[in-house]
């Protein structure tokens, strides 16, 4: 995997990851959109499946994380211009997108706003727009998650105050999640710590974006979309993906009744097969 810094015309910098720059066999590019708080390293536990299919992972640290310059007051839609700039720099014309948790809305944004480039979308355990009609947005979340996102909805100052006093809540994860985190998905330890090394700025910007207007309608996504969600998810309840799947014209919903927010990624290989079938060249 190569890592490079891309300088943008507005003076910002994006730290980019690419597993296939020198691999002629990796012909199908998939942009990975990371969760909150993570850096953008592509999901190593899915590398064997990606190699089997011939997928080239491309990803980047969202603004404010890792090696990427903060972008004040960014919204979810802001991702489309950044991804387009990266694709242009790497001479990638068309690609698929996959996001986990907070990366889900960012993957959907690319599908909605880059319709000529995005061939398929996978959203894993991603939230629906804040205040979505007909959805009880907070229902099923842990108390700590509700407090965190209500603080974001109250504005930057309230969110900063909340983060300053917040502690890790292990109850946000199910037993299946904890099992995944202690096994194959211990990989998250490699992407969460570095995301917070420079402080909580990226996390705060993410959460403010999730509870603000996204800047697009999920119904604009015309490419095939797969929503994956665990029925026991306590971080983002599965009702969010159910709501989203009902709004996207070409959506498929796969609910895994016994999975939580992390363990749902154990079926990530099947999601990559789905992408290859629906969006691969």
Q: Judge whether 121 and 224 are in contact, CB under 8 Å.
A: yes
Which token pair is 126?
């991603």
Phi, psi angles (nearest 5°) of residue 229: -155, 140
**For residue 251, what are the contacts with CB-CB under 8 A and spacing of at least 6?**
224, 225, 226, 227, 244, 245
Cis peptide leading into residue 95 (ω within 30°):
no
Note the pLDDT of residue 131. Answer: 93
* pLDDT exceeds 70 at position 23: no
- Residue pLDDT, tens place only, 168-183: 999 999 999 999 999 9
Note the pLDDT of residue 187. Answer: 98
* Residue 280 vs residue 242, higher pLDDT: 242
Quick one: CA dihedral 209, 211, 216, 220, positive or negative?
positive
Percent with pLDDT over 90 in the chain: 95
Classify residue 218 by its DSSP letter. Answer: G
- Residue pLDDT, tens place only, 208-262: 999 999 999 999 999 999 999 999 999 999 999 999 999 999 999 999 999 999 9
What's CA 141's distance to the chain center, in Å? 18
Give the confidence band of 276 by pLDDT, cuts at 50, 70, 90: very high
Note the pLDDT of residue 26. Answer: 59
Residues 108 and 112: their CA atoms lie apart, in Å, by 6
Note the pLDDT of residue 119. Answer: 97
Q: Judge whether 70 and 13 are in contact, CB under 8 Å.
A: no
* pLDDT exceeds 60 at position 24: no
Classify residue 65 by its DSSP letter. Answer: S
Q: Judge whether 234 and 260 are in contact, CB under 8 Å.
A: yes
Note the pLDDT of residue 72. Answer: 86
Percent with pLDDT over 70 in the chain: 98
List, as one string, the DSSP characters of 70-131: P-TT--GGGHHHHHHHHHHHTT---EEEEEETTHHHHHHHHHHH-TTTEEEEEEESPPPPTT
Residues 8 and 214: their CA atoms lie apart, in Å, by 22
Of 155, 152, 129, nearest to 218 (Cα)? 129
- Residue pLDDT, tens place only, 40-99: 999 999 999 999 999 999 999 999 999 999 998 999 999 999 999 999 999 999 999 999
- What is the chain's mean pLDDT, rounded? 96
> What average pLDDT does the segment 253-277 reach?
97
* pLDDT exceeds 60 at position 108: yes
> What average pLDDT does the segment 204-211 reach?
98
Q: What residues are paired with 73 via a beta bridge?
A: none
């Amino acid at each position: 995997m190569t890592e490079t810094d891309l300088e943008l015309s507005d003076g910002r910098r994006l730290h980019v990851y690419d597993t296939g720059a020198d691999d002629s066999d990796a012909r199908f590019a998939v942009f990975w959109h990371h969760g909150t708080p993570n850096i953008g390293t592509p999901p190593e536990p899915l590398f064997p499946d990606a190699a089997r299919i011939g997928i080239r992972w491309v990803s980047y640290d969202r603004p404010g994380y890792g090696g990427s310059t903060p972008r004040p007051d960014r919204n979810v839609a802001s991702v489309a211009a950044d991804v387009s700039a990266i694709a242009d720099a790497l001479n990638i014309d068309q690609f698929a997108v996959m996001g986990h948790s907070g990366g889900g809305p960012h993957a959907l944004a690319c599908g909605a706003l880059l319709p000529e480039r995005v061939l398929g979308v996978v959203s894993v355990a991603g939230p629906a727009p804040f205040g979505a009609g007909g959805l009880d947005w907070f229902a099923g979340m842990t108390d700590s998650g509700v407090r965190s996102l209500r603080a974001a909805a109250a504005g930057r100052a309230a969110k900063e105050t909340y983060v300053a006093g917040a502690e890790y809540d292990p109850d946000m994860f199910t037993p299946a999640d904890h099992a995944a985190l202690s096994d194959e998905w211990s990989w998250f330890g490699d992407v969460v710590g570095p995301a917070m090394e420079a402080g909580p700025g990226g996390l705060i910007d993410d959460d403010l974006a999730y509870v603000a207007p996204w800047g697009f309608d999920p119904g604009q996504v015309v490419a095939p979309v797969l929503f994956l969600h665990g029925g026991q998810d306590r971080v983002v309840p599965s009702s969010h993906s159910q709501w989203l799947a009902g709004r996207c014209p070409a959506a498929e919903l796969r609910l895994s009744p016994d999975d939580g927010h992390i363990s749902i990624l154990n079926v990530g290989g099947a999601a990559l097969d789905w992408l290859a079938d629906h969006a691969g060249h």
